[in-house]
């Protein structure tokens, strides 16, 4: 499944200062869909190069990290249960840095 | 689609205001689902109401917007210039920036402010630590290391903003502090046992008795919503019919000298609370407002610094004490409570015991 992931607000520093990542993510074995929960695990393994605790807490993002799926607040689509589709755009922005 | 059907039933996706467009945001304050277009309108209207209800500005006033190049002040500059035009506030707006002298951080963010100057057509004034104090933060860190450097920066910035405001001859300074920032500050002041600041930090206007008052139009505004404004603006070209949804240009990198700042812990705690119950942020602000201080508590008397004339509850203001330390090679002067203050320095500065500040009290002396 092809996805576009964007990191901002300082999170890009955790993935070699690259803001936009065009990636292919496979569905978990035996599953028929890819959820945000699966994607976060994939991102942590494959994209985050340092300080993963700045990005995640438990199996979700750290509080203070905003997530948008196709420009929509993920709190409206079920957060970790959000089902992703091909060509979706997922944005992660940290609000933990100063303003 | 029936008009009286609840938006929730329609896939949970429709805006609760217009009932037509897809919701893009869950508002932390109200838990409402709202679309981008309605959100921008509601956001601006709420700030307008806060300004009116709290009488933040008077017609004809000159107002400096404390502009760091970060998201809060960028959105503040944008919203104030927009509301000033739309509602004829009759304000003369200026951007005021402080250059702390941090290579790779402030020089970059000042570039953002310079772009804002052009975008919003607001005159910009930059005051630098180097000009005001003779030291840049780079030089200070070189001398004192990465411990306590944020104390220097914070104390110096406060004064620098006031001095810049005086140079611009403004009536008031508006800063971009948002609800999350204020809740954080309430917690920090409780943790530090700093009652004097606790009683001030939730006021929407401060320093009215001083030369240049400050106000916080975003006092009730969640950080998440300020972010949504900047984000929406980035992707607006394709999404929105609104002409003003240009990309808001802001700078978002952590200060290179503050990775361990104490405030960070309070910030994280606030964000943890927000996830569980978003109203917690406004509730903490309310608690701060309602905090009653025993009438027997001695509050620091506001006087002026004997050396530079700035407001101070001590003989010398904090900036002068810190500066004296730097210039004499005793950078720990004025840092912390008892620890770190070497006795030589103590004698030299002759702390005025008569007006001993409650800010120097240990925790545990709070009276409820």
B236-249 average pLDDT score: 33
pLDDT at B256: 66
Strands of B180-267, DSSP E: 205-206, 214-215
The Cα of A40 is separated from the nearest Cα of chain B by a number of Å equal to: 18
What are residue B253's phi and psi, to 5 degrees?
-125, 145
On chain A, the residues whose CB falls within 8 A of the CB of B226 are: 99
Q: Does B225 touch chain A (CB under 8 A)?
A: no
Q: For chain A, list the domains and their CATH numbers.
A: 2-94 (3.10.20.30)
Residue B350 CB burial class (10 angstroms; 0-12, 13-18, ≥19): exposed
Contacting residues for B283 by C-beta, under 8 A, at least 6 apart:
none
Structure tokens, B305: 């610094």
Rg of chain B over all Cα atoms, to the nearest angstrom:
22
pLDDT at B282: 96
pLDDT at B362: 35
Residue among B26, B71, B176 minimizing CB distance to A73: B26
Give residue-wise pLDDT tens across range A75-99: 999 999 999 999 999 999 887 765 4
Residue among A10, A63, A73 minimizing CB distance to B252: A10
pLDDT at B274: 93
Q: Which of the two residues, B126 and B250, has the higher pLDDT score?
A: B126
Q: Is the pLDDT of residue B253 over 90?
A: no
Give residue-wise pLDDT tens across range A4-61: 999 887 788 888 888 899 999 999 888 889 999 999 999 999 999 988 888 999 999 9
Q: For chain B, list the domains and their CATH numbers.
A: 44-290 (3.40.50.620), 303-358 (no CATH)
Give residue-wise pLDDT tens across range B134-145: 999 999 989 888
Residue B344 CB burial class (10 angstroms; 0-12, 13-18, ≥19): exposed
Give residue-wise pLDDT tens across range B173-188: 999 999 999 999 999 9
On chain B, the residues whose CB falls within 8 A of the CB of A71 are: 24, 36, 232, 235, 239
Q: Which of the two residues, B31 and B346, has the higher pLDDT score?
A: B31
Decide if the complex's ipTM is over 0.90. Answer: no
Q: Which residue in B114, B123, B117, B57 sits closest to B94, CA to CA? A: B123
Q: Which of the two residues, B261 and B63, has the higher pLDDT score?
A: B63
């Amino acid at each position: 499944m092809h996805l576009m992931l964007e990191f901002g607000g300082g999170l890009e520093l955790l993935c070699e200062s690259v803001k936009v990542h065009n990636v292919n993510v496979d569905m978990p074995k035996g599953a028929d869909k890819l959820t945000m929960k699966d994607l976060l695990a994939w991102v942590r393994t494959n994209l985050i190069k340092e300080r993963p605790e700045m990005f995640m807490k438990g199996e979700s993002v750290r509080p203070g990290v905003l997530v948008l799926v196709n420009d929509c607040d993920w709190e409206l689509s079920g957060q970790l249960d959000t089902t992703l589709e091909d060509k979706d755009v997922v944005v992660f922005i940290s609000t933990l840095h100063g303003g | 689609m029936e008009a009286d059907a609840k938006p929730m039933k329609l896939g949970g996706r429709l805006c609760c205001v217009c009932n037509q467009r897809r919701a893009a945001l869950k508002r932390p304050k109200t838990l409402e689902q709202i679309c981008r277009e309605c959100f921008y309108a509601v956001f601006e209207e709420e700030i307008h109401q806060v300004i009116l209800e709290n009488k933040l500005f008077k017609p004809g006033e000159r107002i400096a917007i404390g502009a760091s190049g970060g998201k809060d002040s960028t959105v503040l500059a944008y919203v104030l210039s927009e509301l000033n035009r739309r509602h004829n506030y009759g304000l003369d707006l200026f951007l005021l920036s402080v250059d702390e002298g941090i290579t790779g951080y402030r020089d970059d963010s000042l570039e953002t402010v310079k772009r804002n100057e052009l975008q919003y057509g607001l005159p910009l004034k930059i005051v630098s630590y180097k000009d005001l104090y003779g030291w840049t933060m780079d030089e200070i860190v070189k001398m004192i290391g990465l411990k306590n450097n944020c104390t220097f920066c914070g104390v110096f910035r406060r004064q620098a903003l006031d001095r810049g405001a005086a140079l611009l001859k403004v009536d008031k300074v508006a800063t971009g502090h948002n609800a999350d920032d204020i809740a954080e500050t309430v917690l920090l002041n409780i943790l530090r046992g700093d009652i004097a600041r606790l009683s001030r930090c939730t006021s929407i206007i401060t320093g009215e008795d001083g030369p240049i008052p400050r106000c916080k139009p975003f006092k009730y505004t969640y950080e998440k919503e300020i972010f949504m404004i900047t984000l929406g603006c980035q992707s607006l070209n394709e999404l929105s019919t609104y002409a003003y949804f240009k990309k808001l240009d802001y700078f978002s990198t952590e200060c290179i000298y503050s990775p361990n700042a104490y405030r960070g812990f309070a910030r994280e705690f606030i964000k943890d609370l927000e996830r569980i119950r978003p109203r917690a942020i406004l509730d903490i602000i309310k608690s701060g407002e309602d905090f009653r201080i025993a009438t027997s508590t001695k509050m620091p008397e506001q006087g002026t610094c004997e050396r530079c004339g700035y407001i101070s509850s001590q003989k010398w203001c904090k900036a002068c004490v810190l500066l004296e330390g730097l210039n004499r090679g005793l950078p720990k002067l004025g840092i912390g409570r008892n620890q770190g203050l070497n006795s030589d320095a103590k004698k030299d500065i002759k702390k005025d015991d008569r007006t001993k500040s409650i800010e120097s009290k240990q925790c545990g002396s709070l009276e409820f």
